[in-house]
Amino acid sequence: MMSPFVCYSVVALILVLTLKFLRQSATFKNMNIPPGPPFLPIIGNLHQLKNPLHHTLHRFSQRYGPIYSLRFASSLVVVVSSHSAVQECFTKNDVVLANRPKLLIGKYLGYDDTSVLFSPHGNHWRNLRRITTVEVLSSNRINDFTEMRKDEIMRLVQKLGLTSYKGFEKVEMKPRLAEMTFNTIMRMIAGKRYWGPDCEMEDVEEARKFRKMIVEMVKIGGANNPADFMPILKWLDFDGFHKEVRNFQKKTDAFLQGLIDELRDGKKAGDTMIGHLLSLRETQPEYYTDPLIKGLILVMLIAGTDTASITIEWALSSLLNHPEVLNKAKEEIETYIGQERLIDEPDVVKLPYLQNIISETFRLHPGAPLLVPHFSSDDCTIGGYDVPRNTMVLVNAWAIHRDPQLWSDPLSFKPERFEKEGEVNKLIPFGVGRRACPGAGLAHRTVGLTLGLLIQCFEWKRLNDEKIDMTEGIGITMPKIIPLEVLCKARHPIINKVLFEEQRLRSLASTYHEEDGPRDVASPVVGLGEGDTGVGTELLE
């Protein structure tokens, strides 16, 4: 039983919320607020928000229009599901909507809303944005890590090749893609690999725990957590969410601080993002603090791992459900690249059909279906409706990408639609305006090269005649609810001539077992080092 103090506190909070709710409702009566569904006192529409949230919001838009309003407790939320309204939001109202709402996830994952993802618009955010776009994710910096990315993608291809060189083998793609993207980002950030035979076991265990935390936080972190809008729930923490986020922050902070401390002396920093940021500290020690660096790293890990791996998984799933598209992509690669060499990053932009496949995947399965929430710093108008100050604005990119007024046959997977000039400009998978994701270039490079190599080097089939299940799971990054399992077979001319040396392949093929890992050899992965072409003679018939 609750103590009298707790009971009185709860009653007082309810009264305060009720007064706030009534005062706000009276104010809104004199404004042209967007229409929306009826709501309850105190909780507003929170009880109607079912997962996946972007589906629920889409259903509301079909009834109330492309611009409508909800109440998250006493907070006003405007949901935008129209491409034209989005353009108005982030041209005319770009500065007004450049803020972020204060959420628990921003407090704990964003170091008290000071990271580039959660920081309010202002001088601090502008400095963070400059650091991110110039010092961390500029074209030159991304180019510096080209060989690192290629190496991790090649390790994925080589492991699949060792698994499937004899014929079709069943593989689950989700963990393979997740490990590849996580290793890639961690090498860029700290020069460390966390999965694979060349890793220390303690590093592997540490990484798995951290990876699990990231996946869970991406899954539950969003803009519809009731505790963000009803302080009483944050205080009482009935579902344990507040405690969970706090614990996550402590573990994450310790992990990230360990990376910084390890590279602080400069001996191991090398050409890493942390090393570069630490070198900038020498001239601006008051700005390049540990919390700032940790905030940047965490945003990179959250935004740069799940989104890329999930996009590749969605793309492969779509190709398996549309074998004619897969064959057309394979023919394009055969025509322009052939079988004597592998696709390289510069080749991807010269393969228009592959680019169209990626664009169509971004359209149907955007990595962040609701983008990151915006928050109005002043009164503004959207589509003729009044949007008061301190309103959360959610952009339903998933719904916009499936709008029949914007796309023909919007629910079908048709890469050919992007042959029409200007169609790609309708996509908003990375956001719009000054707070658009600065990592779009890195994502395109990772997804493009990985998908191109998977198509070039392997044959792919579904496990049976049934189509791949495309049901969406819950989370910020919209994973598949059923991870992709598929039949994979190495294409022998490519695998033999390009990927493996003859003796190495024979040795590894005789000792490698998919479930138990390598036996009697040091590593199942062939690393293509400098000067190692990996070209061998014909081995398999």
Contact 319, 460 (CB under 8 A): yes
Q: Which residue has the tokens 């503004």?
A: 380
Residue type, 16: V
Cis peptide before 52 (omega within 30 of 0): yes
How far is C-alpha 209 from the geometric centre of its chain's CA atoms?
A: 19
Question: If residue 329 lies in a helix (H) or strand (E), which one and from where to where?
Answer: helix 323-336
Measure the CA angle with vertex 453, ends 449 and 455; round to 5°: 120
- Separation CA 223–CA 228 (nearest Å): 8
Residue type, 529: G
Q: Please, is 418 exposed, middle or buried when counting C-beta atoms within 10 Å of its C-beta (0-12, 13-18, 19+)?
A: buried
Q: Considering only the C-alpha atoms of the chain, give the largest distance between any 2 of them, rounded to a whole number of Å.
A: 82
Within a 13 Å sphere around the CA of 519, how many CA atoms are in the beta-carbon half? 8
3-class SS string, 6-30: HHHHHHHHHHHHHHHHHHHHHHHCC
CA separation (Å) from 152 to 47, 158, 181, 297, 484?
A: 44, 10, 8, 19, 20
Within a 13 Å sphere around the CA of 39, how many CA atoms are in the beta-carbon half? 22
Give every CB contact of residue 436 below 8 A, 6+ residues apart in sequence: 430
Annotated ligand binding at 199? The verdict is no
> Alpha-carbon dihedral of residues 240, 242, 247, 251, nearest 10 degrees?
130
For 57, other C-beta atoms within 10 Å of its C-beta total 23
For residue 373, give both structure tokens. 């929430």
- Separation CA 42–CA 10 (nearest Å): 13
Give every CB contact of residue 520 below 8 A, 6+ residues apart in sequence: 511
Exposure string for 72-99, b = 16+ CB within 10 A, e = fewer: bbbbbbbbbbbbebbebbbeebbebbbb
- Separation CA 228–CA 243 (nearest Å): 13
Would you call 405 helix, strand, or coil by DSSP? coil
Exposure string for 471-488, b = 16+ CB within 10 A, e = fewer: ebebbbbbbbeebbebbb
Contact 495, 526 (CB under 8 A): no
Residues at the annotated binding site for heme? 437
Residues at the annotated binding site? 437
